[in-house]
Structure 1
């Protein structure tokens, strides 16, 4: 694989606005394995890993993939390849287990609200439906890419009672729900990173007494020493408007710890503190600290 080829793949991961963290992490892992198999020079491998960690700063699983890879690579090539394969297996296995935990908290007749289109939330809802549970799901449209619309369609086609709402209605609808079930793009000492609109929804859930659950795997937890990420500005054209005004377009927000609910992981239900204590113990590789 030539430098231009792997840089093109990294650029594609950085620009991708349709897929979630799990899908992009699998693409990043495939890139690293391909470079290892083709005996890419050490400098190129390290540069690619650092670039991968920074390509999507709000997605913890990409950072953790790069971080673990660099530590393993510092030992030898075989350990680096083994780490990537184990990481992928863990991501998939924990994801299925966490989705099962999420499905287990759903009760017959529940009314749920979800935001954006988490693959783990979708798995949980499909699993609960397969178990014969009847429930209703409100899906936010999740602008600007409207992935919530696609989720609502998939749930409906699977036979689940799904209702699409505009993002601005989330607060009002949440008051009528038994639970709020969301995904997680990253969990750190600063709180939860998820699709824009999660922070106010979490605040309302906390003040209104609506249980909020975030489905997560260990790969979504940054090391405790990781600093708060800064999202790159997105294309203003996403909003579909033009004018003499400025446009600020961001896909993610950060919910502070005091507004967080519970987390559903492969190991069960946890608090934010418990998640960080259990999964946030990795050291950050020196190449990812500087610059």
Structure 2
């Protein structure tokens, strides 16, 4: 009877009464329909998005209004004095996620020279008056194809009009443009020496900060160098090193102390990463030369030349096969120097490399850079020589300094390369009777291609001789990871 009365009261009041606790009651929960539940969810999402937007606006206004990176909040304990405690409202740069840091350190994308709008903007900003080459090869339209070599006299007349370019930087750029400086080490050293002279003559303008203004100056010098000739990978690593040294300068240094520290860092980079590294490479590679060996080399690598001369000075008896190619014939100068020192040499062109490879015991090659996947980025023709040596089961040793290693991965020589003068391919020096392509630019359906570099796959490389020792191509990624940011660059 009592339970019946409670049920009747429940129905009348619309409230559910607990049987044991009659004083506690709550209204009956009505069941919503599916449409009502969906409408409620949509309303909650909209309210959440609005509150989030209001919160972001409030945080942004607070950060703009705050004079410093920290705000102070008051906290008063019970029966105690008022205490001001700092609360961090902005993260320090060291607390940023690793992905953001990697995106920040990533190099900007290369300019695609088949984009007409970007090319026109680059021309307006350029110091060098650049004319586009005619009869461009369609597969390489994305690379810079300017007739820079025709602009040398005109650019020399602008010397006293270029206030933004230091005289030492201008002089080195002219030598790049004329082709007087060849070799990745020589180009890198000349660039760093020019930076040193510019830093010595630098003075901070009034109202400027040395770190920011000097970094901007170096960036303008780099732009001028790239207009004269595209930068090599080793030059890019050296530029990043210089900029990192500028960024790490203590604020307590005076201007003279900062300039002295930068010049000292540049000298240390040249001595340790290039000069001493070459000596270490020579010691490692010369130990692989034995009496009676027939060594083959291609191009004109300064490190390979030092290895051959050092092994000869040790009294080892061996013969050198020097392989050359058109249009520059860089190996001729190497051949003259080796013969002058008393080495027994054989000279041949690259089209006959398969005929001499059967008597070769080792191949020593230089490289402009070693990429992260073990690919050797070197003078065009290096991949052909390495492939023939691999077919004949001849060991191929790539001699390269560690500062030329790069985290880039490249599978071909099309995406990134440098184009030379196509007229050099059309002309045969000293043979006027065979110059049948004098007027090749008038032929719309004829294109000449003069590549500077190619990519040698790691499958054709037996070992890489570097200042960290002799390593297999698969260990390049380890060197880049362990020594990349701290030791290499």
Q: CA deviation at 1:141?
A: 1.9
Structure 1 match to 2:137: none
- Unaligned stretches of 5+ in structure 2? 1-161, 204-212, 250-257, 428-434
Structure 1 match to 2:189: 26
Q: Which structure has the bigger radius of gyration?
A: 2
Q: CA deviation at 1:110?
A: 0.3
TM-score relative to the length of structure 1: 0.87
Structure 2 match to 1:214: 398
Q: CA deviation at 1:182?
A: 0.7
Aligned counterparts, 1:178-197, within 5 A: 178-190=361-373, 191-197=375-381
Q: Deviations over 1:12-33 (max 9, x none)?
A: 3354265211111110110111
Structure 2 residue matching 1:282: 3-state secondary structure? helix
Structure 2 residue matching 1:143: 3-state secondary structure? coil
Q: Deviations over 1:113-148 (max 9, x none)?
A: 100010010000000100111111111123211111
Kept after mapping to 2: 8 A contact 1:112/1:137:
yes
Q: Deviations over 1:90-120 (max 9, x none)?
A: 1100011102211111100100110001001
**What is the aligned residue count?**
283
Q: Which moved more, 1:231-240 or 1:153-162?
A: 231-240
Structure 1 residue matching 2:317: 3-state secondary structure? coil
Kept after mapping to 1: 8 A contact 2:417/2:453:
yes
Structure 2 match to 1:278: 479
C-alpha separation between the residues in 1 aligned to 2:228 and 2:403?
Answer: 16
C-alpha separation between the residues in 1 aligned to 2:328 and 2:472?
Answer: 30
Q: CA deviation at 1:10?
A: 2.6
C-alpha separation between the residues in 2 aligned to 1:271 and 1:258?
Answer: 10
C-alpha separation between the residues in 2 aligned to 1:112 and 1:227?
Answer: 29
Q: Which of 420, 424, 445 matches 1:238?
A: 424
Q: CA deviation at 1:9?
A: 2.4
Kept after mapping to 2: 8 A contact 1:52/1:62:
no
Q: Which of 298, 301, 311 matches 1:118?
A: 301
Find runs of 4+ consecutive structure 1 residues off by over 4 angstroms.
Answer: 50-58, 225-229
Q: CA deviation at 1:58?
A: 6.9
Q: CA deviation at 1:54?
A: 8.1
Instruction: Find out whether 1:63 has 2:236 as its counterpart.
Output: yes
Instruction: Find out whether 1:262 has 2:463 as its counterpart.
Output: yes
Structure 2 match to 1:201: 385
C-alpha separation between the residues in 2 aligned to 1:126 and 1:73?
Answer: 39
Structure 2 match to 1:249: 450
TM-score relative to the length of structure 2: 0.54
- CA RMSD between the two structures: 2.5
Structure 2 residue matching 1:269: 3-state secondary structure? strand
C-alpha separation between the residues in 1 aligned to 2:223 and 2:475?
Answer: 28
C-alpha separation between the residues in 2 aligned to 1:182 and 1:20?
Answer: 13
- Unaligned stretches of 5+ in structure 1? 285-291
Structure 1 match to 2:164: 3
C-alpha separation between the residues in 1 aligned to 2:330 and 2:370?
Answer: 21
Structure 1 match to 2:12: none
Instruction: Find out whether 1:156 has 2:339 as its counterpart.
Output: yes
Q: CA deviation at 1:55?
A: 6.4
Q: Deviations over 1:159-203 (max 9, x none)?
A: 000111011112332232000001111011251111111112212
C-alpha separation between the residues in 2 aligned to 1:161 and 1:236?
Answer: 35
Q: Deviations over 1:235-271 (max 9, x none)?
A: 1122215234321001211112222221112232111
Structure 2 residue matching 1:250: 3-state secondary structure? coil
Structure 1 match to 2:110: none
Structure 2 match to 1:86: 268
C-alpha separation between the residues in 1 aligned to 2:202 and 2:356?
Answer: 54
Structure 2 match to 1:109: 292
Q: Deviations over 1:198-255 (max 9, x none)?
A: 1122122223211000111112212x14778722311112221523432100121111
The alpha-carbon distance between structure 1 residues 176 and 204, as it changes in their structure 2 partners (threshold 3 A), is: same
Instruction: Find out whether 1:177 has 2:373 as its counterpart.
Output: no
The alpha-carbon distance between structure 1 residues 164 and 171, as it changes in their structure 2 partners (threshold 3 A), is: same
